[in-house]
Structure 1
Amino acid sequence: MGHDLNLNAMNYFEAVARLGGVSKAAEELGVSASAVSQQIRQLEQQFGVRLFRREKRRLILTLDGERLFQTTTQAFRMMRDVRSAIVRQRENRHFIMRVSPSFGVRWLAPRLKGFLDANPGWDLRVDGAPDFSDFETEIVDLDLRYGAGDWSGLHQEAVVHDFVLPMCSPSYLAELKEQSGDPIGQLLKARLIDSVKTHFRWDFWLARHGAMGGRMVYPLRFDRSNMAIQVAADGAGVVLESATLAINELERGDLVPLSRAFAVIKVPTYWLVCPSRHTNRRIVRLFSEWMRKEGSAHDDKTADMLRSLGCTIQEEESTILNRDIDDARQ
């Protein structure tokens, strides 16, 4: 009998039993009531038992009908679920990207809703990881990567700048000013907070400003900008970081520039990076366009905020900065 099972008739039976009537089943299935009734009769003939009995114009499952219904409704529910999953899988659009961790938390995450609202229907996966993607062995559409833009053989486009300056809490700055009225003197007495994975660090900055003084070891060192900025805002010392990541603290007044005497260094540091072939993907184009607009708007906002605090901004190319960093470290 297993080879003679009529799945169409079983489907009709399950609908009638689940909905409690031939008319409702016919409406759901998009067929006539007579077609449903005919399939039920054929199924009863095939099994040699009655599957329904009529009581007061209602169809009631018999014991055999109940047994069959428990099996068929579970089977058809599973098939419907699988079908829905397959359809969703086919219709879903996936975007996988990797981002530098602190930038992902402080800059990208608060803006992602805007991108998703403008581009509904995409499944988005974001990995916050310090390691650069190996596009040949990993499934990644795009990297939003911190660096100097020197990734050979890959498409790369700068979309967000760093605005680097020494910052500390207002209370810590007041302590330093009590010890010295000279910004360089204040630095020599300050507890320096080192972000060890930033594009350039204190050794470069101090050398550029003639303030080395033999200080090459820093008492507080963090491998995440997020932590370094927070510790500085808590009054633990002076951090050399980017206003791009610390803009909220600067706007609230939790951090302030150490001195207006030090120009803010503006340099391209956040890049869209991927193999050139990925730029043909629609989601990569959409995200890249969105990043250009968001990055430009953020750069303008950050520059305006820093100027309102009395800072001057010195714009540099990452290649020039790299050369100066190498010179400082020799």
Structure 2
Amino acid sequence: MPFSRLPPLSALRAFSAFAETGSVTRAGAILNVSHAAVSQQLRNLETHLGVKLLDRSGNRLALTPEGSQLADTLIAAFGRIAQTVDALTGADADRPLHVSTSPSFASNWLMPRLAGFRTAHPEIDIMIDPTPRLNDPEPGGIDVAIRYGEAGWPGLESEPLMSSPIWIVAAPELIGDLKPERPEDLLGFPWLQELGTTEASNWFAQHGITKRLAKGIIHVPGNLMLDGARNGQGIVVTSQVAVERDVDAGRLRLLFEERAGGGYHIVTAPGAVRPQLRAFVTWLRREAARDRR
């Protein structure tokens, strides 16, 4: 590490605080120094780097493109440092474990098993955030995300949790005895799609079908989507793990299978791991292994 080439830490802290708050005064309050001291540190940083980081042409200071680039790096780096310090000192021990995952995975796999984790770890508070958005784990925020895909999320660490192909399923009372051979055979049926996703539309597009579905698509939250499918209200595209028991029990019929290599992954931010997160990840691995037996 060429430390001699790096700007003074005080200047980097002042710039990061300004970038986060958008105000020299608020940055000074965070750092417990005067706004004049912050302004001087900002000028010192620009002089050291020989790069214009701030646009002073308007009524308020604004980041230049170069300033935005440096700010993103510093905020992430200082956040990672804070996360490691908190993990080492236990400063964030009282913060609930924040878990982000899709509504369908939360309602059909995670929640039915969560009582076991609560029994083993009653001291750990948990916040489940069911959302179709891919929210990244970050210091002081989301601790872990359980994502569907094939791994490879830049800047994050991931490990496979379980394999789960994509299944296209429908209730027998909706589909009858039809044995579809091509996706086109399903164009005349109603479809259900998880709110915030385009899984059904994407599935048809992957097979070269772009025409509008005859009976349209209803967009609903993930748990309601599967309830609707069981009640015969539409065909759905979902993961095997979400509906395998329904298919085994005859409540749903498997029509097509896609992405045989797809599956769920445990996704975390790099750096030190909180004890609460370590316990939760260990439990996830055990539950997934139990399902494979």
Q: TM-score, normalised by structure 2?
A: 0.56
2:192 aligned partner: 193
1:274 aligned partner: 268
2:240 aligned partner: 243
Flag the 1:158–1:119 CA change in 2: closer, same or farther, 3 A.
same
CA distances 1:80-109 after superposition (whole Å, capped 9, x unpaired): xxxxxxxxx999685332232221122111
CA distances 1:210-240 after superposition (whole Å, capped 9, x unpaired): 7x37346861232533222222211123222
Q: Which of 265, 271, 277 lines up with 1:284 in the alignment?
A: 277
2:169 aligned partner: 167
Match of 1:239, as an amino acid? V
Matching of residue 97 in structure 1 with residue 104 in structure 2: no
Flag the 1:295–1:197 CA change in 2: closer, same or farther, 3 A.
farther
Match of 2:203, as an amino acid? F
Q: Describe how 1:211-230 pairs up with structure 2 within 5 A.
A: 212=209, 214-215=211-212, 219-230=216-227
Match of 1:194, as an amino acid? Q
1:183 aligned partner: 181
TM superposition shift of 1:197: 4.6
CA distance in 2, matches of 1:118, 1:104: 19
Flag the 1:296–1:217 CA change in 2: closer, same or farther, 3 A.
farther
- Unaligned runs of at least 5 residues, structure 1: 1-88, 302-330
CA distance in 2, matches of 1:247, 1:277: 36
Match of 1:271, as an amino acid? H
CA distance in 2, matches of 1:227, 1:277: 37
CA distance in 2, matches of 1:135, 1:207: 30
Equivalenced residue count is 202
Flag the 1:149–1:217 CA change in 2: closer, same or farther, 3 A.
farther
CA contact (8 A) 2:136 2:145 kept: no
TM superposition shift of 1:243: 2.5
Flag the 1:129–1:169 CA change in 2: closer, same or farther, 3 A.
closer
CA contact (8 A) 1:194 1:218 kept: no
CA contact (8 A) 1:193 1:239 kept: yes
- Unaligned runs of at least 5 residues, structure 2: 1-90
TM superposition shift of 1:153: 1.0
CA contact (8 A) 2:105 2:242 kept: yes
Structure number, greater radius of gyration: 1
CA contact (8 A) 1:195 1:201 kept: no
Sequence identity of aligned pairs in percent? 25
CA distances 1:98-152 after superposition (whole Å, capped 9, x unpaired): 2322211221111111122233422223233344445557533222234453421
CA contact (8 A) 2:160 2:264 kept: yes
CA distances 1:178-207 after superposition (whole Å, capped 9, x unpaired): xxx653364243333334655843443564
1:118 aligned partner: 120
CA contact (8 A) 2:144 2:268 kept: yes
CA distance in 2, matches of 1:270, 1:189: 31
CA distance in 1, matches of 2:288, 2:205: 29
- Give SS of 2:288's match: helix
Q: TM-score, normalised by structure 1?
A: 0.51
- Higher relative contact order, structure no. (Cα contacts within 8 Å, ≥ 6 residues apart): 2
TM superposition shift of 1:249: 2.4
CA distance in 2, matches of 1:134, 1:151: 9
Flag the 1:289–1:217 CA change in 2: closer, same or farther, 3 A.
farther
> Which structure has greater helix proportion?
1
CA contact (8 A) 2:161 2:285 kept: yes
Q: Which of 283, 296, 299 lines up with 2:289 in the alignment?
A: 296
Flag the 1:148–1:201 CA change in 2: closer, same or farther, 3 A.
farther
